[in-house]
Amino acid sequence: MNTRYGVGWRLVWYALNVITSEGASVMSTNRLPVVAGNGLLDRRVFLRKGLAFATIVGASSYLQEGVAQEQAARGLEPWMTQPGIGFSPYGQPAKHESHVARVFGFNFKDFENNGAAWTPLEHMQGTLTPNGLHFVRSHQGTPDIDPAKHFLYIHGEVQKPWKFSVADLLKMPMESRQIFLECGGNSNASWADDPVQKTVGTIHGLISTAEWTGVPLAYLLKQLGVKPAAQWVVATGADAGAFDMSIPLAKMMDDCLVALYQNGERLRPENGYPVRLIVPGWKAVLSIKWLSSLELSKEPAMSRNETARYTELLPSGQSRQFSSVMEVKSVITSPSHGMRLSGPGVYEITGLAWSGAGKIKRVEVSADGGKSWAPASLLSANLPMCTNRFRIAWKWDGKPCVLKSRAIDEKGTVQPMRDDLIAKRGKKGFYHYNAVVSWEVDSVGYVSHTYE
């Protein structure tokens, strides 16, 4: 596939026209039900019996002479004639997939290894992020923690201040939840006056989703007895900067986890091994990694991270503070910047939608720059505070156009247009950019970032 940046985009080509010319009883694409402007199609036609089967094939793999003849003619590949390699203690991705990698950006100079690694959203499907590709945002690098020497201290406004070893925590009752983490600074390149020409992962990849397993914080705090004066919990990590943030006690009691496992295995070092906090739906800076202390207090700590950082300067000159919930958002991951459509035909548009306020109610897609919109299909497992994947079929006629997606969450909040977000929040807020993302397709099929 001829793509820019070597993005190996797997083109989905529904070869309906080819099949039709063979006389099979299928619709031609000309008669497919169009649900919005510029060729957005009702995806259900592909799932109907008799249509779903082999219509989804690469144009090049349409077999004129039939499967058996073609297979015989090709002969045997080396791997078909000798035993493969043996077993390994910990599996690795296929060597042909080594281009699927996080992108680093060490853009802060104050501390060594203060930086981020973005998840390559353009290479991914489904909703879960493999642990090796989970985004990383660390202010002082990844500490090399010996779990036998790591403790979680819970103190302050509690009846019984307590010290938990990692072994203690591992014996406690646990919960598992699929939760996205999104850095408050995700997508912030989009505040720039001109659209940055980078891949979807490099602009929007400070979001990842994992199934986190750990001890509900409410369980721990109830055992220790919360004193009536407690209103906040100051969480601190064991990394060199003693990274700390204040979280309202009510949120901590509601749904926060002291996480030990990430997608079924123990946390990755970069993501907080051996213990991290998970604060569902709220900006990921609150999900303190390498968690070593929880201090219950009457007031927030007013730490550097919640005053000088992670606040948003508004046009009024005032700043928002404790802006916690990650607002409703979506982005088309394919086709997206750097990819190329190989020619007119039917494609699948797909992407991710999420909201820190709960579930995703609807995702709408536009193929005509926002003039008309059609609802995309969503995964039936629509979990709150978890990414949901959307998909819709689209017949591209080969003309330049702009693709957009817009999510609506269960609270009815609609993802804002860029102009509306800027009118409300200005351009200097740095954090919480959640506006509709637009990708422009040119007449030869190249996809690039646009604000149109």
Residues making contact with ligand MTE (CB under 6 A): 134-139, 181, 183, 237, 239, 243, 270-272, 284-285, 287-290
- Residue given tokens 């509709």 in the structure block: 436
Decide which of ligand MTE, Mo ion, none touches 134; Cβ closer than 5 to 8 Å per partner kind.
ligand MTE
SS3 160: coil
Task: Kindly report the backbone phi and psi dihedral angles of residue 420, in degrees, each rounded to the nearest multiple of 5, phi listed first.
Answer: -70, -40
Q: Which is nearer to ligand MTE, 11 or 136 (CB)?
A: 136
The span from the CA of 292 to the CA of 275, in Å, is 8
Q: What are the strands, taking DSSP E only, across 249-372?
A: 257-262, 265-266, 276-278, 291-297, 312-313, 319-320, 329-334, 345-354, 360-366
Q: Is residue 183 close enough to count as binding Mo ion by CB under 5 A?
A: yes
Contact 205, 135 (CB under 8 A): yes
Q: How far is the CB of 212 from ligand MTE (least distance, A)?
A: 10
Tell which positions 98-137 bind Mo ion, by CB under 5 A.
137
Q: Using CB distances below 5 to 8 A depending on partner kind, what does residue 237 bind out of ligand MTE, Mo ion, none?
A: ligand MTE
Q: What are phi and psi of 161, to 5 degrees?
A: -55, 145
Alpha helices in 121-216 (DSSP H): 166-170, 200-204
Q: Which is nearer to Mo ion, 164 or 191 (CB)?
A: 191
Q: Residue 301 binds which entry of ligand MTE, Mo ion, none, with Cβ cut-offs from 5 to 8 Å by kind?
A: none
Q: Which is nearer to ligand MTE, 244 or 348 (CB)?
A: 244
The site partner of 239 among ligand MTE, Mo ion, none (C-beta below 5 to 8 Å per kind) is ligand MTE
**What single-letter amino acid sits at 77?**
E
Name the binder of 350 from ligand MTE, Mo ion, none, CB < 5-8 A by kind.
none
Tokens of residue 9, six digits = 């985009």
* CB burial of residue 322 (10 Å; 0-12, 13-18, 19+): middle
224 DSSP assignment:
H
In the complex, minimum distance from the CB of residue 284 to ligand MTE, in angstroms, rounded to a whole number: 4
Do 199 and 7 touch, CB atoms closer than 8 A? yes
Least distance CB 140 / ligand MTE (angstroms) = 6
Question: What is the smallest separation between the CB atom of 238 and ligand MTE, expressed in angstroms?
Answer: 7
**Shortest spacing between CB 434 and ligand MTE, in angstroms:** 15
For residue 230, the minimal CB distance to ligand MTE (Å) is 22
**Backbone φ/ψ region at 187: left (φ over 0), alpha (ψ -120 to 50), beta:** left
- Return the structure tokens found at 333: 């991951």
Structure tokens at 365: 């897609």
CB 233 within 8 A of CB 284: no
Q: 193 phi and psi, to 5 degrees?
A: -65, -35
Give the pair of three-digit tokens for residue 434: 């959640």
Residue number with CB closer to ligand MTE (13 or 135): 135
**Cβ neighbours around 62 below 10 Å, total:** 13
Q: What does the longest C-alpha to C-alpha distance in the chain come to?
A: 79
The least distance separating Mo ion from the CB of residue 375, rounded to whole angstroms, comes to 32
Residues 359 and 361: their CA atoms lie apart, in Å, by 6
The entry of Mo ion, ligand MTE, none near residue 275 (CB within 5 to 8 angstroms by kind) is: none
Nearer to ligand MTE, 244 or 364 (CB): 244
Question: Residue 288 touches which of ligand MTE, Mo ion, none (CB < 5 to 8 A by kind)?
Answer: ligand MTE
**CB closer to Mo ion out of 309 and 427:** 309
Q: How far is the CB of 58 from ligand MTE (least distance, A)?
A: 35
Sign of CA dihedral 373, 377, 379, 380: positive
Residue nearest to ligand MTE (CB): 237
The DSSP output letter for 156 is: E
> How many residues touch Mo ion (CB under 5 A)?
3
Q: Which does 425 bind (CB under 5 to 8 A by kind): Mo ion, ligand MTE, none?
A: none
Residue 136 binding result from ligand MTE, Mo ion, none, given CB thresholds of 5 to 8 Å by partner type: ligand MTE
Rounded to a whole number of angstroms, the minimum distance from the CB of residue 46 to ligand MTE is 35
Q: How far is the CB of 444 from ligand MTE (least distance, A)?
A: 37
Site residues (CB under 5 A) for Mo ion, limited to 130-169: 137
Q: What is the dihedral of CA 437, 443, 446, 451, to 10 degrees?
A: -20
Find residue 390's DSSP bridge partners.
351, 378
Q: Report the residue number, 137 or 340, with the smaller CB distance to Mo ion.
A: 137
**Residue 391: contacted member of Mo ion, ligand MTE, none (CB under 5 to 8 Å, by partner type):** none
The residue (of 122 and 239) whose beta carbon lies closer to ligand MTE is 239
Q: Smallest Cα–Cα separation from 251: which of 225, 277, 271?
A: 277
Selection from ligand MTE, Mo ion, none that 166 binds (CB < 5 to 8 A by kind) is: none
Q: Which residues bind to Mo ion, rule: CB under 5 A?
A: 137, 183, 285
